[in-house]
Amino acid sequence: MKKTIQFSRLFRPLAILSIAVIVSGLVSLHFFGINMGIDFQAGFIEKVRIAPPALELTYSGGQSIAVTQSSSDIIFVITGVGSDNETIRFPYTEYATVGSFARAVSAISNITVSVQAPDSFPLNKLFTDSGSLSRLSAKPYRFHYIPEGSQLISSDAVREAISMFPSAAVQVLGKPENCAFQIRLRDDGSDPEASTNLREGLSRAMNQAFGEDNIVLIGTDFVGSRFSKTLATQALWLVLATLVLIWVYATIRFRWDFALGAILAISYDALFMVSFIVWTQMEFNSLTLAAILTIIGYSINDTVVVFDRIRENMRVHPKMKLTDLLNLSQTEMLGRTLITTITTMLAVLSLFIFTTGDMKTFALALMVGMVSGVYSTIFIASGFISFVSSFRKDGGRISQKEVTVKASPEALV
C-alpha cells in the first residue's frame, strides 16, 4: 500500500510562513511600489538605439521611391509619372556587404549614396529609424549600424543625458553589443499637451547628448492619465469579479468551507505574484495581469481536482478523520499534480528561454505562479479546511445521510 504523506504536519508552520511572505510583500509594496507599465502608468515610452549612420541615400528625381527593409532583403519601389512602377530587390544573399549594396544603388538614376561604414560590413546588420519617412528625398535617408569594437553606451549615460526628467526610467533591451533603450517618462496629468511636449523634450535631450544623426527610433507609445486610471480600475474589478465567480462555483459544487479554502488559495497566489513583482521590480503591464489571471485559473483547476478526490474519499471512508482524508487525497493526487505542472512548465520555460521583452516577463510570471499554485492547493486550501473542521461538531466529515444516498443503488439509476 502506498505510504500516505503527512502534509497536515506542515499546515500550521507553512500558514505562518505564508502570512509572513504576504506581509513582507505588502510592506515592500508600501515602500517601493509597483513598477507600473505604460498600460497602467500614464506617460510616454520611447524605444531607441544609439548608432551612427552606415550610409545615407538622397534622391533628386521626379518619381517616388519608397524603401523597405525586411529580414531577407531591402526593397526599392519606384512609382510616379513616367515610371513603370518598378520594384528593385537587394537580397542579402546577393548583396552581402554595404559596399556591394552602395554600388548597386548608385546605378539607380538620381540617387546619391554616401557611405560611412566599412565596405565589408554585413548589409543584414543595418537598421533604419522607424520615425523616418520611407520615401527618398533631398533629405538623407539613413541606415545605421553598430561599429565593431565601438565603446558601448551604458544605461547610466542615457539617464544622465535625460536628467532633466527626474522621474525618467531607463531599461536596457537585448544584448549589450546590440541593445536598445526603453525610456519611460511619467505624465502627472498637469500638462494637456504632455504627449507632444514629452516627446519633443526627450528628443532634444538625446540629440544634444549623442548627436541627432545617431538616434534611431524603434517605437513610441503614450497613455494619458485618465485612460491609465480607467485601465487600473478595470483590472482591479476584473480580478475581484474572478474571485467572486470562483467562490460561487466552488460553493455550489462543494460546500462553504471548501469554497473559502479555494478562494484563500487563489488569493494567496495573486498576492504572492504581486509580492514577487514588487521584489523584482518587474514591469506590471497587461501581460503581467494576464499572467496573474492565468495562474488563478490554473490554480483553481488544480484545487478543484484535489477537492473532488477529497469528496470521493469522504464517501469511501466516512469515519476517517478529515485531516487523514486530506493527507490521503493529497498523496493520491500528488503525482498527477506534479506531472501536469512540470509538463506545462516545460512549454513556458521554452518561452522564457527563446523570447525577450514582455513575453519573457510573462513566462517568468507564469512559472513562479505555477509553483505557487501547487503550494497553495496542498497547504493553503487544505490547511484552511483542516482548520475549520476543528470547530465543526461533525469534524468536517460527510454526513451519514449523504453516505447512504450516494451508496444507494436507487440513487445511481
Looking at the DSSP assignment, which residues form a beta bridge with residue 349?
none
Report percent pLDDT > 90 for the chain. 21
pLDDT for the residue 229: 59
Looking at the DSSP assignment, which residues form a beta bridge with residue 57?
113, 141
**Mean pLDDT on 154-178:** 80
Q: Select from 213, 209, 70, 72 the least CA-distant residue to 141.
A: 213
Asked whether the predicted pLDDT for residue 164 surpasses 80, the reply is: yes
For helices 357-375 and 256-280, the axis angle rounded to 10 degrees is: 140
pLDDT for the residue 41: 65
Looking at the DSSP assignment, which residues form a beta bridge with residue 183?
46, 170
Q: Which helix (H) or strand (E) holds 218?
A: strand 215-223
Nine-digit cell string for 188: 502627472
* Total residue count of the chain as it appears in this document: 413
pLDDT tens column, 233-283: 777 787 788 778 888 887 887 778 888 888 888 889 888 998 998 898 887
Nine-digit cell string for 326: 486530506
Full DSSP string of 101-165? HHHHHHTSTTEEEEE-S-TTSBGGG-EE-TTS-SB--SSPEEEE---TTPPPPPHHHHHHHTTTS
pLDDT band at 401 (very low <50, low <70, confident <90, very high): very low
Map out the domains of the chain as residue ranges.
7-40+227-412, 43-223
pLDDT for the residue 82: 63
Helix (H, G, I), strand (E, B) or coil at 42: coil
pLDDT tens column, 319-341: 788 888 888 888 888 888 889 88
Full DSSP string of 327-375? HHHHHHHHHHHHHHHHHHHHHHHHHHHH--HHHHHHHHHHHHHHHHHHH
Neighbour tally for 331: CB within 10 Å? 16
pLDDT for the residue 56: 93
The whole-angstrom separation of Cα 269 and Cα 350 is 23
Which of residues 93 and 61 earns the better pLDDT score?
93
**Average model confidence (pLDDT) for the chain?**
82
Least confident range from 32-46, 222-236, 373-387: namely 222-236
**Mean pLDDT on 220-235:** 63
DSSP letter (8 states) at residue 36: B
pLDDT for the residue 409: 42
Asked whether the predicted pLDDT for residue 295 surpasses 70, the reply is: yes
Which of residues 180 and 194 earns the better pLDDT score?
180
**Mean pLDDT on 22-42:** 79
The whole-angstrom separation of Cα 79 and Cα 82 is 8
Distances (CA, A) of 24 to 18, 28, 32, 154, 276: 10, 6, 12, 33, 10
Asked whether the predicted pLDDT for residue 95 surpasses 90, the reply is: yes
pLDDT tens column, 124-142: 999 998 878 788 999 999 9
pLDDT for the residue 412: 34
**Mean pLDDT on 49-63:** 91
pLDDT for the residue 99: 93
- For CA atoms 388, 393, 399, 401, the dihedral sign is negative
The whole-angstrom separation of Cα 246 and Cα 263 is 7
pLDDT for the residue 117: 92
pLDDT for the residue 149: 78
pLDDT for the residue 395: 54
CATH topology of domain 7-40+227-412: Multidrug efflux transporter AcrB transmembrane fold (1.20.1640)
pLDDT for the residue 253: 78
